[in-house]
Amino acid sequence: MKELAKDYSIVPVQGIAEFIQDVRLRKISGSLKLASRTLKLLMDLVSKESWNTAEQLLALIRNQGRFLAEAIPHDIVVANTIRRVMKIVREEYDSSRVVHFDDGQSILSLHKLVTQGADPERDDYSKPMPGLKNALVDHLSEVETELETTGDSISAQAAEHIHSAELIMTIGYSRAVEKFLRKAAETRPIEVVVVECAPDCRGQQLAANLGRAKIQTTLISDAAIFAIMSRINKIIIGTHSVLANGGLQAVCGTYSLALSAKHFSVPVIVLAPTYKLTPVHLCNYEQGDFNILGNTEAVLPFESLAARFTKAYNPLFDYVPPELVTLFITNNGTNAPSYIYRLIGELYHPDDNQL
C-alpha cells in the first residue's frame, strides 16, 4: 500500500500534463509526432531538472514515464521512447565509466560476455559522472535527427522492394505507406489496390492522395479482399506497433488481409520505424488491454430499432501473428520477424521493459 501511495503522489513536471491533454483531445496524433514530442519532453527533463547521478536521472525518467504511460496506455510509442532514453542514459554512463580503453577491449569476446555480469560496478549508477549531462543532450539530439529522417530512410528502400508493373495492396491510411508508394512510383509504373477499412474508411483518404499523385489506384471494400487477392503481387502495410515476438498491433482488418495473403502465398511487407518496436507481448487473446473500442454509429445507428436488442463492437486494432508477416522494413534496413527480438535488445534495456 505504501508503494501504491507513492506512485500516486508523483507530480508531472511542466509540459507533461499539457501533452497528455493534447493527446486525449487528439490535438496531437500520429506515431511520429507522439514520439518526437515525448523525446522533446525527456530532453527538457535531462537538461533542466536537478539531478546529480545517473541513478537519480533514471528514477526521475521512470516516474514521469510511468505517469505518461498510464495516462495514455494505447499510444505505445510514448513508452517506447521513454525506454530508449533510459537505455541511452545507461549507455552514456557506462561509456563514461570506462576510463582505460584500448583496441583489445573494443572487441567483446565470448569470455567477456560470460564474465561481464560479475562486474560489481556494472549496474551501479549511483556515482556522479562529470560531463554526463552534456553527453546525454548530444546523444538525444542525434536521436531527434534520426526521428526526423525516419520517413525518408524507409521510403528510400522502395525501389528495392517494388518492381515495375506490380499490383500492390494496402489497407487503411498510413503516412509511411503513402510516402513509400509515392517514392516507388517516381521511377516505375505501379498499380495500387487500397482496402477502405470500414467503418472509418480511412483508406479513401489514401486512395485520393495516391490518385492525385498520378498513381493508378483502385478502392475496394473489406469484403472484396479474398476475391482479388489472387491478382496481387505483394502487400505493403503500416502498423501501430510491433510486439516483442514480431506480431503486429495493426488496424482492424489487417488480420483477415494477412490470412488471405497466406492462402495465396502473397508476401506481406510491414513498414515499421524502430520507435514502433516494443518489448511487450500479447498476453491474452481476448485483447481487452490490447484493443480500443471505437464508435459504432456508422455500423449500427443508435436510434435504429435493432440497436435496442443488439450489442455492437468496433475494435480499432487486430493482432497479426508473426508467421503471417514476410518482412519488416525499418529505417535501419530489412529484417525477418524472427530478428525483431535482436532489434529490441539493441534499443531497450531489459530492466526498463516494465516502467
Model confidence pLDDT, tens digit, residues 246-280: 999 999 999 999 999 999 999 999 999 999 999 98
Is residue 281's pLDDT more than 80? yes
**pLDDT for the residue 121:** 58
Is residue 310's pLDDT more than 70? yes
Q: How many CB atoms lie within 10 A of CB 266?
A: 20
Q: Is the peptide bond before 130 cis (omega within 30 degrees of 0)?
A: no
Least confident of 9-13, 166-170, 180-184: 9-13
Find, among 262, 254, 170, 163, the residue nearest to 219 by Cα. Answer: 170
Is residue 120's pLDDT more than 50? yes
In whole numbers, what is the pLDDT of the chain averaged over residues? 85
Is residue 1's pLDDT more than 50? no
Q: How large is the C-alpha radius of gyration of the chain? A: 23
Strand partners, 9: none
Is residue 99's pLDDT more than 70? no
Asked if residues 228 and 263 have their Cβ atoms less than 8 Å apart, the reply is: no
Model confidence pLDDT, tens digit, residues 220-255: 999 999 999 999 999 999 999 999 999 999 999 999
Domains of the chain: 10-96+126-158 (1.20.120.420), 162-352 (3.40.50.10470)
Gap between the Cα atoms of 38 and 31, Å rounded: 11
Find, among 292, 194, 204, 286, the residue nearest to 241 by Cα. Answer: 292
Query: Residue 209: is it exposed, middle or buried by C-beta count within 10 angstroms (0-12/13-18/19+)?
Result: middle
Instruction: Provide the whole-model pTM.
Output: 0.84
Model confidence pLDDT, tens digit, residues 127-160: 877 888 888 989 999 999 999 999 999 999 999 9
